[in-house]
Amino acid sequence: MSIEFKLPEVSEGVNEAEISSITVKEGDSISAGSVVMEVETEKAVAEIECPHAGTVSKIHVSEGDSVPIGAVLLTIAESNGAPAQEEAKSAEPKEEKEEPKAEKPAKEQEPPKKEESKPSSPQPAQQTQPTTSEAGKIPPPATPSTRRLARELGVDLHQVNGTGPGGRITVEDVQGFVRQLTSGGGSGGGGPVTAPPLPDFSQYGEVERRKLSKLERTAASHLSMAWQVIPHVTQHDLADITNLEESRKTFMSTVGKNGPKVTMTAVAVKAAVNALKAYPNFNASYDAQSGELVLKQYYNIGIAVDTPYGLVVPVIKNADKKSILDIAQETTELAIKARDRKLSMDEMQGGTFTITNLGGIGGTGFTPIVNYPEVAILGMCRSRNELRLDQGEIVERMMMPISLSYDHRVINGADAARFVSKLVRSFSDMFQLLTDC
């Protein structure tokens, strides 16, 4: 007897995944619980365990394929009649129970037909209908990643004209719709810009094409949209961290030796929360449709983490209620999970402000792109010793460059300068930082 093993639910709200690696081949014998492949969602990687024992008779997907939840991954010839049959009976009803949740009653029989063959492009849209449709409306065709972007931006897909095959709504369609709502307020102005086709580079020499991972494609799409929608301005300054750095190193070599490593990023999280409380407009989102500013009464700080697989931004929730030691511990744990590709979707959602620290690499300043729908982001660069004049005397001080990019639609230059000045004072005065906490 043959068993069809289908892609199970990877995490809540994820309707599609990309096959990043397949760890078995046709003819392999596997035991129940064996890892047969890894799949990549928009922000994380998950191992897929097969609950069936037997021989892999057919692999229905290839590395790089994007497949919906419930798509057939493997056909397995049972090696032991009773156990495999029991697993099939216990697993298949679960799939059947999940399908009605993803379809209207009249459509209940349609998904199984599509799952018997290689998943076609309309299938993800059908499976995600319940999460995006409104009462009495038929959900427009769109991939799960497009629907997710629309939810993040607050876009009703019924109002978007699809330019993809069969009228399918693409990520670019959603981005263009948002740009129109902002009335040309994006950095480029003049509405959407379509990149011209690339020339044939092979005429100049040898080239190689590498397909971007799902994570890289998602990041590229989001950053492109944020840059075009938000009119960016960046405020630069230098923070004197001489006393702060001395205190940090002393703490880490004495009482904090056996605790979490207190980095400048952890300190910056606390300093940012204090500045956000003083200037609430920075802890907000701009609703272009209503012309309102959504002021958030919680402080969730995103930390940009560089990984071999791309940039991810885990979020420290309720940072205002945590000590610097708590933040240091959580920052370390999230960074490890990010590099191991073990972050959950919940750990990367809900941010109100983002910090990106390039101090470990170098640089004297840069323009970080605001993490939409936030309205500001703080960039930090490598600190350096500089000679300064202090009460008529030349002294050596450790200065850290900081760069604040912000949405000029809701934040004016004067407020940005005040916000940065408060950050500089917090970094420069350890006592003020501790008392503000």
Q: Which residues have a catalytic role annotated?
A: 408
Q: Which amino acid is at 387?
A: L
Report how far residue 349's alpha carbon sits from residue 283's, in angstroms, rounded to the nearest whole number.
15
Question: Is there a contact between 239 and 402 (Cβ–Cβ < 8 Å)?
Answer: yes
Cα 140–172–185 angle (5° rounding)? 115
Omega before 139 within 30 of 0, i.e. cis = no
Burial class, 392, CB count within 10 angstroms (exposed 0-12 / middle 13-18 / buried 19+):
exposed
